[in-house]
Amino acid sequence: MGDKMPAVVNFGPEPFSVELREIEVPGIGENDVLLAVRAVGVCGSDLHQFTGKQSWKVNYPVVLGHEFSGIVAKTGRNVRRFKEGDRVVSETAAVVDESSPFFRQGLYNLDPNRLGFGYGVNGAMTRFVKVPERCLHGIPDGLSFRLAALTEPCCVAYNATCVNSRIQPGASVAIIGPGPIGLLCALTAKIAGAGHLVVIGIPADSKRLETAAKLGTDTVLGAQNENVPEWVKQFGDGYGLDLVIDAAGVSASLKVALDIVRPAGQITKVGWGPQPLNFSLDALVQKAVTLQGSYSHNWPIWERVIGLLASGRLNLDLILNRISPLTEWQEAFEEMHAGKIVKGVLEP
Ligand SMILES: [Zn+2]
């Protein structure tokens, strides 16, 4: 095409090295489609790159945005499953090694060498993005582009709660960290049949904890600096919760998880941060707790989440709080960073 288009570009490692720039519309290869972006979600990881606090390697300059939906505008010669005009969402693993053992297992999300949109290759905070056909999922007519763009974070939450955790109907579940992923974990835990649901934050999270309460959380803790282990001792038989999902962006929250998990219970850690821990793991041993990591998502998770979003069983009315044009990217980033909104979507 040779045309130019505006894009939200992260151009260097220094904090706040993000600006709207004119870039070329990308060319595509035989196995790619050119996707006309209709909606792109703002993710915590976009904010980390905005503030220069990410712990992953970024190929500067790079267009941000990995949560996106759109319309197929052009197809490469080998593309078979999609045609011009199809409504789609895209997975995030833009570059994978198809000979890697993880790809062969369907666990390309765990391949340490994969590259994702928005940090490894150009993402979707622009009008057109080059996407391998392999990444695409069709979306039903009744599912809006805005909601479809949030499939990705929903898949992160679904993987943590419904694939990597065991939730038997009625099981008590605590979620640490009421950020977007924590709140989506609350929604997916309820769909999975959770019994008493607790969401735990800190005073700075008070707005998000209010949202957690509106989503049907049974108990919300932390806005007033409540003593969480003391509350847990008064809950039920006092031995703790069956499952703790740690969605806080630090390692140290594992301490709280170990304090409140029930003997023989499970902790699933989906939030992460590079700071080291400084406490004993004796409780993990003594309580015979299963500690499980959860990272990203793969094909079957996407298909199930798209179905849950399309049917309305996974309802994001309280999660998606701001729709903005690309020119207002910075306001959307800042409101999300300040916790004023849970999730923002840009419409390029
Ligand atoms: Zn994301």
Given this model, what pLDDT does residue 282 score?
A: 97
Give me ligand 1 centre to Cα 92, in Å.
9
The rounded Cα 3 to chain-centroid distance in angstroms is 32
Give me ligand 1 centre to Cα 67, in Å.
6
Quick one: residue 11, left, alpha or beta (phi over 0 = left, psi -120 to 50 = alpha)? alpha
Pairing of strands 62-63, 4-10: antiparallel
Which segments of the chain have a pLDDT < 50? Answer: none
Give me ligand 1 centre to Cα 115, in Å.
14
Give me ligand 1 centre to Cα 331, in Å.
18
Given this model, what pLDDT does residue 275 score?
A: 87
Residues 6+ apart with CB under 8 A from 298: 106, 107, 108, 109
Nearest Cα residue to 252 out of 294, 202, 216: 202
Give me ligand 1 centre to Cα 301, in Å.
15
Instruction: Report pLDDT digits (tens) over 24-43.
Output: 999 999 999 999 999 999 99
Nearest Cα residue to 122 out of 232, 207, 26: 26
Positive or negative: CA dihedral 203, 209, 210, 213: negative
pTM, two decimals, is: 0.96
Helices 299-311 + 151-158 axis angle, to 10: 110
Given this model, what pLDDT does residue 55 score?
A: 83
Nearest Cα residue to 19 out of 50, 52, 43: 50
Give me ligand 1 centre to Cα 121, in Å.
15
Are the beta carbons of 304 and 155 closer than 8 angstroms?
A: no
Pairing of strands 290-293, 261-269: parallel
Cα 159 to Cα 22, 24, 44, 311, distances in angstroms? 36, 36, 17, 19
Which amino acid is residue 208, in one-letter code? R
Peptide bond into 61 cis (omega under 30): yes
Nearest Cα residue to 343 out of 154, 161, 201: 154
Given this model, what pLDDT does residue 273 score?
A: 85
Are the beta carbons of 186 and 217 closer than 8 angstroms?
A: yes
Owner of token pair 């720039």 = 21
Give me ligand 1 centre to Cα 282, in Å.
33
Instruction: Report pLDDT digits (tens) over 218-231.
Output: 999 999 999 999 99
| Alpha carbon distance 119, 46 (integer Å) | 9
The rounded Cα 258 to chain-centroid distance in angstroms is 24
Instruction: Report pLDDT digits (tens) over 47-99.
Output: 999 999 888 999 999 999 999 999 999 999 999 999 999 999 999 999 999 99
Q: At 310, give phi and psi (nearest 5°).
A: -65, -35
Give me ligand 1 centre to Cα 248, in Å.
15
Cα 235 to Cα 190, 220, 231, 239, distances in angstroms? 19, 13, 6, 8
Give me ligand 1 centre to Cα 155, in Å.
9
Give me ligand 1 centre to Cα 149, in Å.
10
> 272-301 in b/e burial notation, b at 16+ Cβ within 10 A?
eeeeeeeeeeebbeebebebbebebbbeeb
Given this model, what pLDDT does residue 2 score?
A: 63
